[in-house]
A and B are shown apart, each in its own frame.
Chain A
């Protein structure tokens, strides 16, 4: 049988990643000094540096002038659980901040009308919010909600409170299931300015739809999320493997 031996740099990279796992290094934590890592793993300096450079390009590490190499910040967003942003931040031990970028009423265009299965011209609230974690801007969410389902939504606190909580508690709208699509796009100038990145940087483009139990679409949301600090987790299930599901 064919065998494969990782090249020295690949091996160095695996040693670093194993070290991060074993020592449970988190965002902002430092790697040991280069000479210690070389001694620990029997690597020469240039191999180690090349592996660090590779992990830096990949976005796992950041080098900080004068203080070595650190673990890059990552915020993991779990899909499939309809968790509110503030609950998510609390569960991850992050400090969360929300800024309202705009709140307006728009009419359904062709695209929105199709999403909501409503006729052209029906009124929708459009709420655009900037989400920050640990003082880092991470995503811009632009949510659309039919005015008919949540009249006078503007009277509620959507900055400190959760939109989903308001929809459930005030308007009795149960949010039950949805669909989310992710792809890559490039940040435009306005998004880049809010997210503190450069125009043209790669960002996640996420479009989601959340429905009530009866299938009425309650919210349609477009999210631009920073590609360098956000990661998304989800669980796959195989159909034939359902026996072990509750």
Chain B
């Protein structure tokens, strides 16, 4: 890649981080945090975006960032107070800045009218810039755009206008204190044309009287060339406050005896270098003198030490491809380790505490350690997704005229990078949905005795090896009568279907339920809840809704933490080996005859400590075997399923617990009901990984077949 292109990529990556930092800071300020570091970090974010944007000539972005930065600078300096109105404007501006960044990245232009309006609002809030301030900013930036200076002409083009300057230049000691040097200035002048240099060393005292850090030389330079006065002054721009300087036009006639130049310059160089040559002596003197400079020297390191106490986690950036290659290799390693363990066991017999077995146990331990560490590399907090939501809430709330407060929780919950990336879309849609359909208008809310401002909660947390994300609102809840009427109207359910409240709520996930009639331009961007459900399922997740009329709705998504490995219980069913996700299993038991009770002609329930749970024969449910396992001869796995509570699954026997590497069945074959994925076992055989909820739902459907046919379409909601 072209280096500049690579830096451009870096710039936009950095912008993402800075925009997140900006929004985070502003939200903290909204919550009343006004400490210097919060405001500074907000200022720096805008400042850095502007700086990088300038380097890439992104003018609209830079102009906007400049106005934004000015206001922040005043807030930082305490000139402007960051009240509610100001912070609201800053938040809008941060959204706009994000738009400018995306526009610049994608080569488009941001909404200029909106940008101008927001910039004008910022200017209006900026002290002393209310009038004409916005015009000043672009003008300044035009001045900053880089036109190369006309300097450093080695050869003199014939016929160019010749000018001559007499420059008197007497450095002060402060010039050397800033690491400037007269010789450098002379060298720079030399690049403008031919120079004749004279030095007046009259003022140099005798060595014993000389201040080693003093400045005693007085230079006169005659410059002949095309340089105009501005170019000459530019040479002194770094030093003009640390010297006496006089620049005057000389008689333009070139002096014939100019060949003295080189020798004069040599003398000048030697003279000018005198102070640096004395540097070692100077250091000794400073070390010997207790007063003066040391005081200054102490303050800065003290400040530095104080700041250094802040922990800054060290990070490196690694190409994702490398991480994935490592993960794949570790996956293969895990499989190989399992195969090796199995071979050893087969050849030496189980239960032998041989050295080989002990070493194998260590190897397994290590392999797992490597695997966990590798997975942790891909784990990222969901923060990056959560951070985008405040803006969404502001925009959607504004568009539909509702006041909304977003509360987020658990944004540091970590999950695989791919999962994080694909979470954005379903969460976005659920939040839009919550604001648009869930929350009532402020008037309706007040009429219902609720605060005018609605609340949407977005939470994430780990629960039994999965990440659970909830979006809930305190709105009116699902209008069940309307949902049911609509489902009947769309032919999704029979007119006389008898549905529980939960079943009605879940109708909204049916394909074809969401249509334009019920949807405003906010949530109706061609995406229905069925699409949300599909995208969640594609990640191996599930989504459900619960709703309380008048009190709100809650969408719950449950997703696997990683898409690469799974802790599983390896079981035999008929002639098949299956893997049940360990996270779903509550316990395993051998049922006694008296604990198994029939329920209807084909169904059984299992009694576990005074509770009856449905008993599902996996072989039958999956179609592996036609005959039912005798419950008293097999093993029952008590599992927790989403929606149906606890269920007992009958299998022939348990082979053991194992961590398995997930190989997608969807990618390599096709989606199969009741099967989440596949894996390769230690003996090299392929085993299917059970989708417990899929099996449970499929079984409920089989059971429901005997119900009126009206219920059949509903069953599709469960898959």
A-B interaction: no
